[in-house]
Amino acid sequence: MLKIYQFSKSYSSGFTLEIQSLELKQGTHLIKGENGSGKSTLFKAIAGIHAFEGEIILEGVSLQQQPVKFRKLVNYAEAEPQFPDFLSLDDLILFVSKAKEASSSQIAHLKEAFGVNNYAANSISSYSSGMLKKASLLLAFLGTPKLIILDEPFTTIDAEAQQNLLGIIKNKKAKGINFLISSHHLPDMQEFEFTSIQQLINGKLINR
């Protein structure tokens, strides 16, 4: 499903994330690691947000060679989402759904599933951190991605929203969508039956 070769990303701070080779098969993969080990750096590279050295291939599509096609296949929800606060979630949905070619029925279904209907029309400046997180997670499910990357999806949201999210992920898994998830707080690890667990230690990957 996902192949990463000769990957390297360095910051001016001195931190370097290096992955010689990683091949993940279809499924749901957990990326573990302490704070600052490089999880978000890896996710941002795969999401096409960060420049890097090396090669990332998803379902045979190379991020370097076919960046537009690649980006349509990957959705990403940041650990700490930030959006222009004069916009509403409905504005963001409109924008992202055009790019990701999401249908109006999918939008209606996701708004219901994430429980955002009562505030989606309001500006983001009025959202609590949990409301913002749910908004960001919803956006990551729009369209028909092959891979959804969720960075710390369970932080900030309440227990009911966590259970909802588990159900949504399970539903998408059953439809063949792949996931990369990082989490310091998994509500119920057994529910996921991770296909693999990868551990990052100070910018180096340890396959377990």
Ligand X SMILES: Nc1ncnc2c1ncn2[C@@H]1O[C@H](COP(=O)(O)OP(=O)(O)OP(=O)(O)O)[C@@H](O)[C@H]1O
User: At closest approach, how far in Å is the CB of 46 from ligand X?
Assistant: 12
Nearer to ligand X, 155 or 163 (CB): 155
Nearer to ligand X, 36 or 84 (CB): 36
Nearer to ligand X, 41 or 97 (CB): 41
60, burial (CB in 10 Å: exposed 0-12, middle 13-18, buried 19+): exposed
Angle between helices 129-139 and 89-100 (to 10 degrees): 20
Nearer to ligand X, 119 or 154 (CB): 154
User: At closest approach, how far in Å is the CB of 189 from ligand X?
Assistant: 17
User: At closest approach, how far in Å is the CB of 11 from ligand X?
Assistant: 3
In order of 65, 92, 148, the CA distances from 82 in angstroms are 29, 12, 18
- Rg of the chain over CA atoms, in angstroms? 17
Pairing of strands 196-201, 178-182: unpaired
Helices and strands, number each (H, E), in the chain: 7, 10
Nearer to ligand X, 33 or 143 (CB): 33
Extract the tokens encoding 80.
């700490």
Nearer to ligand X, 38 or 153 (CB): 38
User: At closest approach, how far in Å is the CB of 79 from ligand X?
Assistant: 6
User: At closest approach, how far in Å is the CB of 152 from ligand X?
Assistant: 7
User: At closest approach, how far in Å is the CB of 30 from ligand X?
Assistant: 13
Residue whose structure tokens are 């750096």: 41
Judged by the rule CB under 6 A, the positions of this chain that interact with ligand X are 11, 13, 15, 33, 35-41, 79
Question: How far is 141 from 155, CA to CA, in rounded Å?
Answer: 18
CA atoms within 13 A on the CB side of 164: 16
Other Cβ atoms within 10 Å of 105 Cβ, number: 8
